[in-house]
Amino acid sequence: MATDTANGFQTATPSDAILAQMQPRWKARFQLWSIIGVVVLLLAVSYYPAEVNNWPRLFTGNDFLYDMIGQFLRPNFSSIELYLRKMLETVQIALWGTVLSIIFGAPLALLASSNIAPAWLVFATRRLMDASRAINDLVFAVLFVAVVGLGPLPGVMAIFVHNLGIISKLFSEAVESIDPRPVEGIHSTGATRIQEIIYGVIPQVIPLWSSFSLYRFETNVRSATVLGIVGAGGIGFTFNEAFKGFRFEEASAIIIVMVVTVTIIDMISSRLRKMLI
């Protein structure tokens, strides 16, 4: 930084680096406005195909909507024991689906990690898990209902297969971000590849894996409440029957049971995740 002592005053001239930082970043601004422009264009193009232009129908000339809202504001808890039993079944469906996806997803995550498995195996495993993750669990539920019939089992299998792709992806990303030095230290002792994974990789990823598992469980509880609509067990089937029968007071009570249960699970899960990380 140069100085000028003319006229008895000392002034400072900014360096080239500071001047460069003070220059307007036209490139970054252009990229930002380009992205915004593309998003606005896409919204404009899809405005009529998505029938967003019909939004006034929500508020005008719809007596059924107002009647439904009025009934929803008067929840009927006369069958609360049934709702609680079905909600427990929903949690059990989510629990089994999540645990199965963890058991089978952990080894697949190792096969999908570029720092553990060869490139050809990583590619094949990731594509398989992409297919599992791309198909919605509701679609899997419909397929399993057709195979094994109505009940909780299709819900368990739907959550298991769909989350297998999600769990393996999350777990593999945790494996790829580990510190390689402990693994190298174990390798220098003459340990086998399996021993390197057991003693060098797994201890580093267990906290993140546990956190991801808890997060997926609480997400799966919410998903399991929907699977019952297609006959995959749980409280979703009870809600669908009440709604189709225009028993909105009962449907409202079921929604309240869902919200309270999911909120409690989210609170417990969040506390456990903070303890693990």
Listed by start position, the domains of the chain span 16-60, 80-276
> Quick check: 61 pLDDT over 70?
no
CB 229 within 8 A of CB 237: yes
CB 101 within 8 A of CB 164: yes
Give 144-183 pLDDT, tens digit per residue.
998 888 889 999 999 999 999 999 999 999 998 888 888 8
How much of the chain exceeds pLDDT 90, in percent?
Answer: 29
Q: What is the predicted pLDDT for the residue at 172?
A: 92
CB 62 within 8 A of CB 173: no
Mean pLDDT rounded to a whole number for the chain: 84
CB 153 within 8 A of CB 160: no
> Quick check: 7 pLDDT over 90?
no
Sequence letter at residue 63 = D
pLDDT-derived band at 84 (thresholds 50, 70, 90) equals: very high
**CB-count exposure of residue 238 (10 Å: 0-12, 13-18, 19+):** buried
Give 122-147 pLDDT, tens digit per residue.
899 999 998 898 888 889 999 999 88
> Quick check: 17 pLDDT over 80?
no
CATH number among 3.90.1150.10, 1.10.3720.10, 3.30.70.260, 1.10.1060.10, domain 80-276: 1.10.3720.10
> Quick check: 16 pLDDT over 80?
no
Give 218-239 pLDDT, tens digit per residue.
889 988 888 888 888 888 888 8
What whole-number distance in Å separates Cα of residue 80 and Cα of residue 93? 20
How much of the chain exceeds pLDDT 70, in percent?
Answer: 88
Highest mean pLDDT among 16-20, 38-42, 190-194: 38-42
Q: What is the predicted pLDDT for the residue at 158?
A: 92
pLDDT-derived band at 73 (thresholds 50, 70, 90) equals: confident
What whole-number distance in Å separates Cα of residue 214 and Cα of residue 218? 6
Give 229-265 pLDDT, tens digit per residue.
888 888 888 888 888 888 888 889 999 999 999 889 8
Q: Which of 122, 120, 124, 210 has its CA nearest to residue 167?
A: 210
Give the CA distances from residue 217 to residues 12, 31, 69, 224, 273, in Å, rounded to whole numbers and listed in that order.
60, 38, 31, 10, 12
Among left, alpha and beta (phi > 0; psi -120 to 50; other), residue 133 is: alpha
